Amino acid sequence: MSPLVTVENLVKIFKITQGGAVRALDGVCLEVEKGEILGIIGESGSGKTTLLRILRGVEKFDEGLVRIDGVELKPGSNIEDFHKVRRITAIHLQRTFGLWSEPVVNNVIRALKYVEEGDERLPLEETSEYLEYRERAMELLRLVGLEHRADLWADVLSGGEKQRLILARQLAKKPRLLLLDEPATMTCPITRKELLDAVKRANEELRLTTIVVSHMPEIHRSLAHRMVWLDQGKVKMEGDVEKILESFMARVEPPLPLKKLPRRKAKIAELRNVTKRYFLVGYGHVFSLKEATMSIWRGEILAIIGPSGAGKTVLVRILTGLELPDSGEVVVRVDRRWVNIAELGPKSMKARSRIGILHQEFALPYWARVVDLFAGRMGLKSSQVVEEALKKASIREMDLKLLDAIHRIAELPWEEAKHKLEELGFSPNIIEELFPALPTWVIEEKVKDLLKALNLTREHLYRRVHELSGGEQVRVAIGLALSSKPEILVLDEPFGDLDPVNLRRVANALKRINELFNTTIVLISHQLDFVEEIAHRAVLIEDGELVFSGSPREAVTKFFSYHK
């Protein structure tokens, strides 16, 4: 029997902005049998995602041949051949949450409709057509373990549940080949297992051939029948899962020691009886943060852990002033005074300029140059730029609370920021008008040490976002959060897209930054082994309630005791 997937001498060369070229794939050869799950591992930039995009039929290549279920692609293949490949493949991307704002089951019905009729318009509810599609959609939701959430709005699903819903939408396409790019990396161990079980069921019940790209050894151990190790665009090893993982993990550098905190610790920030409730029109109450009180010590690394949907991201968005609580205070120490950043105004703007944040769904603008992103972020956080913005607001007779609201919105992920500005009646240009970027010519000198710490080069500064690998984008995003030298650095899933080699490098870099600059770091992570390695203290949150604060090891133990 011939393999379902054949790749022969595949070469892909990317031309980059500065006139050079990157050989992303260099003579890759591999085969995948029907019904097999093939795992692919490799460091950031090794060509893993490029390979998946070629197999999906959305990326052309320079040399070689790709054959999927009898459909053959070559460098000179016409567009119809690429469309044929797209019709028989499906892909699940790690940081993509493109879902309709409506019930879960309707998201799957739309996917079924698109496959059969070429559009995603819903049939009228209660018609026989709708009920027939609903029955088929419910079977897919059962396959991914979401049948009990069918009538819940997709907006309020946890990150892990959204990933399973996206998987159901991909399965609706009836693909011959399923491509998974970092599935479940950013979900808690419990949710991760649920998604991996869904992939296994799809493979077993549908005999669905699957290729899994993941940085996490445990995902390959759970799913893969066989593995390929990509290194600098070449196949370095192929075969037994355990043998390849052992060889790959030998590259990981040892962890640096965690600095010791002084006996007498000083608070730098505090949440005092903070509450936040969320409602959806037509659905009602969906989540509550319950009377959260939490102290953060100057110079510590604090981890926040808990299951998907427990409220971790809500907690840090309130801590950074990007969400306002319904009640309670969020205070930050500025020199010798406490400032409540839950109250809009100039004092809060200045206090928040000392806080940097990396969002879980950071979504860097596709065409932006990295140097311009640094210039914009450093301008937004510059105390001098903030002072100038206050003067501009005074001249414009703009309410200073509105100015602060725009300053906070500017730190949100781009699409969310754009939407909120439109709600206020502004175009995105208002951010650049009020908080102009720093001149790009000063950026290179300011960030050279930071780039080195994050294993990035000067060349990366002048690339566009789409010219970066997934892991490089994560390290750039962390660099943006660090670029203003914040006193408090907040990271929401900083390790999600990092391979073990670069994950350890970044973890060690954060430890060095913590020790050299006494930077307080608050991070959310589902990679609990690294939480134990990098954090001085951990807070456990369950269903919107802070239930434990103490040693990371004890917090992890309590997490698993809650979810036996």
User: Could you read off the pLDDT of 267-277 as tens digits, one per residue?
Assistant: 999 999 999 99
Distance CA 350, CA 297 (A): 20
Closest CA to 334 of 323, 322, 321: 321
Among all chains, which residue has been given the structure tokens 């759970």?
222
Distance CA 46, CA 301 (A): 31
| pLDDT more than 90, % of the chain | 57
Q: At residue 494, does pLDDT exceed 80?
A: no
Give the dihedral sign, CA 59/229/466/413. Answer: positive
Query: Domains, the chain, ranges and CATH?
Result: 5-249 (3.40.50.300), 258-354+489-564 (3.40.50.300)
Which pLDDT score is estimated for 413?
Answer: 82
Q: At residue 343, does pLDDT exceed 90?
A: yes
CB–CB of 69/177 below 8 Å?
Answer: yes
Among all chains, which residue has been given the structure tokens 């070689």?
64
pLDDT digits (tens, 9 = 90+) for 34-72: 999 999 999 888 999 899 999 999 999 999 999 999 999
Specify the amino acid at residue 123: P
pLDDT digits (tens, 9 = 90+) for 217-265: 889 999 999 999 999 999 999 999 999 999 999 999 999 999 999 988 8
Interacting residues of 77 by C-beta distance below 8 A, sequence separation 6+: none
Which pLDDT score is estimated for 96?
Answer: 55
Q: Model confidence at 336, in pLDDT bands (50, 70, 90)? A: confident
Give the dihedral sign, CA 496/500/503/504. Answer: positive
Interacting residues of 207 by C-beta distance below 8 A, sequence separation 6+: 34, 35
Closest CA to 173 of 120, 111, 117, 129: 111
Range among 293-307, 374-388, 449-463 rated most confident? 293-307
328: β partners: none
DSSP secondary structure letters along 319-374 = HTTSS--SEEEEEEEETTEEEETTS-SHHHHHHHTTEEEE-TT----TT-BHHHHH
For residue 7 the two structure tokens come to 């790749």
Which pLDDT score is estimated for 282?
Answer: 62
Give the number of other CB atoms < 10 A from CB of residue 134: 20
pTM for the predicted model, two decimal places? 0.81
Q: Model confidence at 540, in pLDDT bands (50, 70, 90)? A: very high
Distance CA 367, CA 463 (A): 9
